[in-house]
Structures are given as structure tokens and as C-alpha cells.
């Protein structure tokens, strides 16, 4: 096999660009410096910024994030279920300062990949050698008729980005009368956190079975079946919450009405006391702004060895926005962030990145206030297949138990600390 010139340029493009812009070819801290801008300080972005500084002494890192605090989606279902409060899932960014990361509290409103600059709402123009986008998801509220109005009126929530809606949904559950109906609608795959809806249903059932046992949970799932950890959740729903949960597969919500408190599918209009309707999702809008979202599609194709966009050079995408067979989880975002950071450090030093990266996912879900189960998988990059291949022996626990609940708590503490300190 021989390489033609175009192939060679494709392979060495990143290295060539570095030589042209005069960036570092050695890794000593005194060498020429490079600047990486990371946009979004969630699980992926904050991790990437931290590990870029840890491994790349010559790399200056600017981390742009509009929010003051990190609010974790993992464990946010525990807040909705009343097992934890908002403070437990809210963390500061202050401990990242020891890595020499420049934090900028602002939003990116324009990206110029030609000039390699980003513009912020606050009026700054910031140049980059490489840009990492970690915007999470955009919830497509337009895809459901009446959603935006009902959401603005506080009558429907998705609570699929932890924050104000998490707290609101908890309040609505507390205000719900005994004998009321909690309706949860689940979008079609792919969406953020595949087991998330089913964990939420379990923890709402856990709360209602104790506080309001005459209540009912109606689940309208756009998917044909439970998409993640089915045996785990079915076990909990049939043994712990028997009779409380009605699960309707292949039922997509098409419209909501906040004044009537109804959700409509193609079959029914259903009234509920609490409407928790999660719309379909796509890569964060920042991805469209940067031109890295796939044409006529929702997600972003990347080179899996570097997480560099397939469409725009020097722009990397990590986390939920990536088009892949990998689960869209906070844990996976941290693993992508580490592979991406390692690759950028190598590229900036004029070396080839690891050609065979490995990522893993670990995802615990609580099924009650004392039991959890997990799913765990290792994925190795296969260059010939151009995808991450799920390794043997990965999988989920069939039943929740107390030991995994303790590990679930420990996992959360450790991953928050790894991301933020």
C-alpha cells in the first residue's frame, strides 16, 4: 500500500498547520506556547481544560462558560425524587484555578474558523490555535407543538439540563395531590443519558409510593422498548412499585397544552397533574455556529483519535454533541475529554496522537433510595472500522442493590472531583 500526496496531507495536516503557525515542537515549559480555547465547562469541557494544563505545560487554556456554577445532571434525578437537594449537585469552578486555566464567564456568539477566533456576547474576540467545543445538548422544544408556551408558563418541564427546571419539577411533585398523575414522555434515541428517564421514573415512584401512594405514573416512550438497563428497571417497577407505573412504548408526544395540562400523542390526549415531557435533542447550537454539525443532521462527526471535527480543521467536539455509537453520558464526556486533551498535547508538540485510544463508560442508576445498578463498557478505537468497538463482558446489572447504591454515591463524588479539582 502506498500513500498518495493527498492522503499524506490529510494525515499530517494537523502537524503541518502547527509548523506553519510556529507552535511548539518540544514539550519543555519554556518552548513556544499554544492557546486552546474550550467552550463549555460541563463534564467534558472542564475535564478537557484541566487535562490540557496537566499534560501540556506549553498550552495556555481559556475556558468559556456563562454559568457561575456547575450543576450536575447525574444525581439530578435524586433531587427530583427528594433524595438530595440542589446544593448537593451544585459545585463551584474555583478549584480549577490551580491549573492555571483562564476562566471567562461569557457566551460564545460567533466563531471564525478561518481567522481562528471566537467572539463573545460580552464583546471579546479571543484567538485560538485549537478550539474545543463541549456545549452539551440543544433540547428541540420546537419539535413539540405548544411546548415553548407551556414551558415559559412553567407548566411543562424537561429538566434534561440540570438547573432551574430540576428544582421546579421537584416543587411540582411536592405540590401534586395524592391520587394525581405524573406524566413522563421520553424522546426517541439518541438522547442524553439513555437510562436517565427510567431512573427518574423509579425515583419519582420511590417518592410517590411513600408520600402519595394513590398516585399514578404514566410513561409515554417514543421508543419501542426501554432503551437501557431494562431488566434492572423492570425488576424495580414490578417488585417495588407494583401497580403505580403504566408504561406505553411507541408513544411519542406531539403536542402539549399548559392551560389544559395535557399531552397529546397520535392516539390520545392525556391529562396529568405534572407534565415532564423531554423533547428530542441535537448537538449544542454552538456546533451549528461553528459549522461542525453534520449537514442536515443533528450531531457532529469527528475523527475519533483526536475528536477534531470532520468538517472544520482545528475545531474539536467532545461530549453529547458527538455523532457516535458511544452513550451520551457525563462519564463518557470526561473520557472523550481526556483522549482529546492528550491528542491536542501531542499535535501541538508536533507528534502523532495515540492512534488506538480507549474510552470507558460507567453509569449508575438508582432504582430506590437505597438501591442502584450499573452499566459499564469499554470501547476501543478500531481504525479500520473508524469506530469505537464495544469490548466483550460489558453490560448491566439485572437488579439494583445496596452495594451499588454506595458505589453510585462514591462515583458521583469522585467524578465531580476529577472534573472540577
- The residues binding another protein (CB under 8 A) are 1-4, 7-8, 11-12, 15, 51, 55, 305, 331, 334-335, 338-339, 342, 345-346, 349-360, 362, 374, 376-381, 383-384, 386, 391-395, 397, 403-404, 406-407, 409-411, 413-415, 417-418, 421
CB nearer to another protein: pick between 149 and 409: 409
Give the H or E element holding residue 421: none
Least Å from the CB of residue 383 to another protein? 4
CB nearer to another protein: pick between 266 and 385: 385
Least Å from the CB of residue 293 to another protein? 24
Least Å from the CB of residue 214 to another protein? 36
CB nearer to another protein: pick between 44 and 113: 44
CB nearer to another protein: pick between 268 and 382: 382
CB nearer to another protein: pick between 51 and 241: 51
Cell numbers for 274: 405534572
Least Å from the CB of residue 379 to another protein? 8
CB nearer to another protein: pick between 290 and 339: 339
Secondary structure (DSSP) of 126-142: EE-SEEEE---EEE-GG
Beta strands 130-133 and 387-390 are unpaired
Least Å from the CB of residue 20 to another protein? 16
Q: Is 5 exposed, middle or buried (0-12, 13-18, 19+ CB in 10 A)?
A: exposed
For residue 12, CA distances in Å to 16, 35, 116, 343 come to 6, 20, 19, 13
Rounded CA separation 217/183 (Å): 6
Least Å from the CB of residue 337 to another protein? 9
Which residues neighbour 112 within 8 Å (Cβ) at sequence distance 6 or greater? 118, 119
Rounded CA separation 98/219 (Å): 45
Least Å from the CB of residue 348 to another protein? 12
Please compute, for residue 183, the number of CA atoms within 13 A of its CA located in the half-sphere on the CB side.
23
Instruction: Report the SS3 class of residue 20.
Output: helix
Which residues neighbour 45 within 8 Å (Cβ) at sequence distance 6 or greater? 38, 39, 63, 65, 132, 134, 318, 319, 337
CB nearer to another protein: pick between 283 and 397: 397
Partners of 253 in the beta sheet? none
CB nearer to another protein: pick between 137 and 336: 336
Least Å from the CB of residue 44 to another protein? 11
Rounded CA separation 329/335 (Å): 10
In 265-291, which positions are buried (b, 16+ CB within 10 angstroms) versus exposed (e)?
beeeebebbbbbbbbbbbbbebbebbe
CB nearer to another protein: pick between 179 and 394: 394
Query: Which among 405, 409, 387 has a CA at the least distance from the CA of 397?
Result: 405
CB nearer to another protein: pick between 170 and 338: 338
Least Å from the CB of residue 342 to another protein? 4
Least Å from the CB of residue 120 to another protein? 29
Partners of 42 in the beta sheet? none
Amino acid at each position: 500500500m502506498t500513500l498518495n500526496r493527498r492522503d499524506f496531507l490529510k494525515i499530517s495536516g494537523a502537524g503541518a498547520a502547527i509548523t506553519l503557525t510556529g507552535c511548539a515542537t518540544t514539550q519543555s515549559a519554556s518552548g513556544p506556547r499554544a492557546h486552546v480555547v474550550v467552550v463549555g465547562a460541563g463534564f467534558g469541557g472542564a475535564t478537557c481544560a484541566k487535562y490540557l494544563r496537566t499534560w501540556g505545560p506549553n498550552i495556555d487554556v481559556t475556558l468559556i462558560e456563562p454559568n457561575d456554577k456547575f450543576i450536575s445532571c447525574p444525581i439530578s434525578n435524586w433531587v427530583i425524587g427528594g433524595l438530595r437537594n440542589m446544593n448537593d449537585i451544585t459545585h463551584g469552578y474555583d478549584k480549577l484555578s490551580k491549573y492555571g486555566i483562564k476562566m471567562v464567564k461569557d457566551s460564545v456568539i460567533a466563531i471564525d474558523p478561518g481567522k481562528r477566533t471566537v467572539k463573545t456576547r460580552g464583546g471579546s474576540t479571543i484567538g485560538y490555535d485549537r478550539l474545543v467545543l463541549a456545549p452539551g445538548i440543544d433540547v428541540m422544544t420546537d419539535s413539540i407543538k405548544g411546548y415553548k408556551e407551556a414551558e415559559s408558563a412553567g407548566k411543562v418541564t424537561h429538566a434534561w439540563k440540570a438547573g432551574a427546571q430540576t428544582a421546579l419539577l421537584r416543587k411540582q411533585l411536592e405540590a401534586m395531590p395524592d391520587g394525581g398523575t405524573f406524566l413522563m414522555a421520553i424522546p426517541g434515541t439518541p438522547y442524553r443519558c439513555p437510562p436517565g428517564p427510567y431512573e427518574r421514573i423509579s425515583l419519582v415512584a420511590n417518592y410517590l409510593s411513600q408520600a402519595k401512594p394513590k398516585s399514578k405514573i404514566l410513561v409515554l416512550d417514543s421508543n419501542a422498548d426501554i432503551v437501557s438497563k431494562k431488566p434492572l428497571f423492570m425488576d424495580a417497577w414490578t417488585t417495588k412499585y407494583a401497580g403505580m407505573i403504566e408504561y406505553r412504548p411507541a408513544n411519542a408526544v406531539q403536542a402539549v397544552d399548559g392551560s389544559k395540562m395535557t399531552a397529546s400523542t397520535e392516539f390520545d390526549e392525556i391529562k396529568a397533574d405534572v407534565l415532564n415531557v423531554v423533547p428530542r435533542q441535537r448537538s449544542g447550537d454552538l456546533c451549528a455556529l461553528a459549522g461542525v454539525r453534520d449537514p442536515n443532521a443533528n450531531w457532529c462527526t469527528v475523527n475519533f483519535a483526536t475528536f477534531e471535527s470532520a468538517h472544520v480543521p482545528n475545531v474539536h467536539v467532545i461530549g453529547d454533541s458527538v455523532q457516535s455509537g458511544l452513550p451520551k453520558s457525563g462519564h463518557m464526556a470526561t473520557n472523550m475529554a481526556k483522549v482529546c486533551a492528550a491528542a491536542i498535547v501531542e499535535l501541538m508538540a508536533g507528534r502523532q496522537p495515540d492512534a488506538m485510544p480507549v474510552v470507558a463508560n460507567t453509569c449508575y442508576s438508582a432504582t430506590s433510595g437505597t438501591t442502584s445498578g450499573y452499566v459499564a463498557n469499554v470501547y476501543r478505537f478500531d481504525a479500520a472500522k473508524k469506530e469505537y468497538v464495544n469490548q466483550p463482558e460489558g453490560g448491566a446489572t439485572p437488579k439494583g442493590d445496596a452495594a451499588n447504591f454506595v458505589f453510585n454515591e462514591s462515583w458521583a463524588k469522585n467524578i465531580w472531583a476529577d472534573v472540577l479539582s
